[in-house]
């Protein structure tokens, strides 16, 4: 049985993460309470009564906006002595579920300042822990950036708060982020005109499967990029051969224009309508999030684009309220339009004070 969930998040977004976990628990009829600290980079939601394995699916990464990664907690936080940290972890696991096997192991800490100080320790501790698990008959591999675990397999998470306090948890890879700790380590292409290119690349990887990416991002496709200057998002289309209308009064990167695939239109992104439907509309305009969401809904309603990705900037104080209202409005309008769709909203690793939204056909 599971006693809670631990979600990591962007440091500074703990309150939003806690509100979201609480909301989810309430929707599921579970009672409990969130526990977090400002800038901790994670939030724990404790259940008042233990919950079964449905917890994995109910709190899955794809369905949560602010969780970078998430796992379920079978045991309360453990105090581990410096002299032997392995034994209490193994005994807690044994007590929880005799004979349960894990396929992967991730020893981790949060992405906060204090969490990052623990990363070297986590790396070195993972070796003796894996050796002890192997000795106990549990054949685990490390989960790192170079591995792609099977969706049906389980990961053992060992999450250090400091050198002597640790949460031990479990996730099903199918229901968690594809990246360890939810950190998409993408290489910045040196010929991209801006770093925000990584946001769109991460969005493609987060919101679509391989087949959807292959079919929707091929040279036969056409895209509109609203608020395109200097061209980091357009770059993602151009590198895949997608013809792109880049809408912005600002300048576009010369190399992108020279590709012959980009048409630069110096017009207002809120007024622009393509002459015929396109495969993609993406939007990174710095504007009120409700206005951007409304614009995206017009595109979807008019079938002007088959897939949409738009970024919502969240400079306001009541970010959770704003995001919840937008999600509700999107849900209601999508329901009214009544076309099979997939809606996903996430604060990506490369997002700052913002979240990214995807709307596409139901896959
Ligand atoms: C964050 S930047 C976009 C960065 C771009 N995605 C990249 O990767 O290089 C926002 C852009 O939106 C543009 N913008 C803001 N309001 C706009 C509007 N109403 N119409 C067109 N562009 C707009 C700005 O000129 C600015 O270049």
Give 38-61 pLDDT, tens digit per residue. 999 999 999 999 998 899 999 999
pLDDT on residue 53: 87
Pick the catalytic residue: 15, 62, 239, 313? 313
How far away, in angstroms, is 146 Cα from ligand 1 center?
35
How far away, in angstroms, is 284 Cα from ligand 1 center?
6
| Structural domain includes residue 214 | yes
Domain boundary (119, 154, 182) is at 182
* Number of folded domains that form the chain: 2
pLDDT at 73 over 90: yes
| Structural domain includes residue 331 | yes
Q: In the chain, how long is the greatest CA-to-CA distance?
A: 70
Q: Are residues 151 and 206 in the same domain?
A: no
| Structural domain includes residue 338 | yes
Q: Are residues 157 and 15 in the same domain?
A: yes
Q: Are residues 147 and 272 in the same domain?
A: no
pLDDT on residue 94: 84
Q: Is 11 in the pocket of ligand 1 (CB under 6 A)?
A: no
Q: Are residues 152 and 75 in the same domain?
A: yes
| Structural domain includes residue 192 | no
Q: Are residues 233 and 286 in the same domain?
A: yes
Entry field: residues in the chain: 363
**Confidence grade of residue 363 (pLDDT, cut at 50, 70, 90):** confident
pLDDT on residue 99: 59
Q: Which atom of ligand 1 is nearest to the CA of 200?
A: 8
Average confidence score pLDDT of the chain: 96
Residue 45: φ, ψ to 5°: -110, 120
pLDDT on residue 129: 97
Q: Are residues 133 and 209 in the same domain?
A: no
pLDDT on residue 298: 98
pLDDT on residue 96: 80
Q: Are residues 33 and 110 in the same domain?
A: yes
Average pLDDT over residues 10-27: 98
Cis preceding-peptide flag for 246 (omega within 30 of 0): no
Return the DSSP state at 191. T
pLDDT on residue 100: 67
pLDDT on residue 289: 98
Q: What is the pLDDT of residues 99-117, one digit of tens each?
A: 567 999 999 999 999 999 9
How far away, in angstroms, is 287 Cα from ligand 1 center?
9
**Alpha helix ranges (H) inside 219-362:** 232-238, 254-258, 289-301, 319-337
Q: Which residues contact 315 (CB under 8 A, 6 or more apart)?
A: 353
Q: Are residues 287 and 322 in the same domain?
A: yes
How far away, in angstroms, is 308 Cα from ligand 1 center?
16
Q: Is 313 a catalytic residue?
A: yes
If you search the block for the tokens 């239109």, which residue do you land on?
265
Q: What is the pLDDT of residues 326-352, one digit of tens each?
A: 999 999 999 999 999 999 999 999 999
Domain boundary (154, 182, 210) is at 182
The CATH code of the domain that includes 323 is 3.40.50.150
Helix axis angle, 119-135 to 86-96, nearest 10°: 60
pLDDT on residue 137: 87
Q: Is 286 in the pocket of ligand 1 (CB under 6 A)?
A: yes
| Structural domain includes residue 33 | yes
Q: Is 270 in the pocket of ligand 1 (CB under 6 A)?
A: yes
Q: What is the pLDDT of residues 203-262, one digit of tens each?
A: 999 999 999 999 999 999 999 999 999 999 999 999 999 999 999 999 999 999 999 999
Which structural domain, as residue segments, surrounds residue 278? 197-361
Domain boundary (144, 159, 182) is at 182
Q: Which atom of ligand 1 is nearest to the CA of 272?
A: 20
pLDDT on residue 335: 97
pTM, full prediction: 0.96
Cβ atoms 295, 270 nearer than 8 A: yes
pLDDT on residue 81: 96
CA dihedral 225, 231, 234, 236 (to 10 degrees): -140
Return the DSSP state at 189. P
Q: Is 247 in the pocket of ligand 1 (CB under 6 A)?
A: yes
Percent of the chain with pLDDT over 70: 99
Q: Are residues 230 and 354 in the same domain?
A: yes
| Structural domain includes residue 161 | yes
The CATH code of the domain that includes 88 is 3.30.70.2810
Q: Are residues 340 and 269 in the same domain?
A: yes
Average pLDDT over residues 72-87: 95
Q: Is 229 in the pocket of ligand 1 (CB under 6 A)?
A: yes
Average pLDDT over residues 87-97: 87
Q: Is 284 in the pocket of ligand 1 (CB under 6 A)?
A: yes
| Structural domain includes residue 232 | yes
| Structural domain includes residue 187 | no
Q: Are residues 214 and 356 in the same domain?
A: yes
Q: Are residues 166 and 27 in the same domain?
A: yes
The tokens describing 132, both together, are 């002890």
Average pLDDT over residues 116-131: 97
């Amino acid at each position: 049985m599971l006693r809670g969930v631990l979600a990591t998040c962007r440091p500074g977004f703990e309150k939003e993460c806690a509100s979201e976990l609480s909301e989810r628990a309430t929707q599921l009829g579970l009672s409990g309470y969130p526990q977090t600290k400002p800038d901790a980079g994670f939030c724990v939601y404790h259940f008042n009564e233990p919950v079964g394995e449905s917890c994995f699916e109910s709190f899955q990464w794809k369905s949560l906006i602010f969780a970078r990664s998430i796992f379920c907690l079978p045991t309360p936080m453990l105090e581990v002595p410096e002299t032997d940290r392995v034994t209490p972890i193994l005994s807690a696991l044994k007590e929880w579920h005799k004979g349960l096997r894990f396929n992967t192991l991730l020893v981790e800490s949060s992405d906060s300042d204090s969490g990052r100080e623990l990363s070297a320790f986590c790396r070195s501790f993972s070796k003796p822990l894996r050796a002890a698990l192997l000795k106990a008959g549990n054949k685990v591999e490390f989960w790192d950036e170079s591995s792609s675990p099977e969706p049906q397999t389980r990961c053992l998470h060992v999450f250090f708060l400091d050198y002597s306090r640790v949460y031990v948890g479990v996730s099903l890879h199918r229901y968690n982020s594809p990246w360890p700790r939810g950190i998409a380590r993408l290489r910045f292409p040196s010929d991209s005109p801006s770093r925000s290119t990584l946001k769109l690349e991460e969005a493609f990887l987060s919101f679509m499967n391989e087949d959807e990416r292959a079919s929707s991002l091929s040279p036969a496709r056409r895209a509109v990029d609203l608020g395109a200057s200097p061209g980091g998002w357009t770059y993602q289309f151009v590198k895949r051969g997608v013809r792109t209308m880049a809408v912005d009064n600002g300048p576009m990167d010369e190399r992108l224009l020279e590709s012959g695939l980009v048409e630069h239109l110096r017009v207002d992104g809120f007024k622009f309508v393509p002459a015929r439907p396109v495969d993609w509309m993406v939007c990174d305009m710095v504007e009120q999030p409700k206005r951007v969401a409304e614009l995206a809904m017009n595109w979807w309603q008019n079938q002007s684009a088959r897939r949409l990705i738009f970024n919502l900037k969240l400079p306001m104080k009541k970010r959770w309220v704003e995001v919840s209202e937008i999600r509700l409005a999107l849900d209601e309008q999508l329901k009214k339009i009544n076309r099979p769709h997939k809606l996903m909203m996430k604060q990506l690793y490369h997002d700052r004070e913002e979240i990214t939204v995807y709307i596409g056909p139901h896959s």
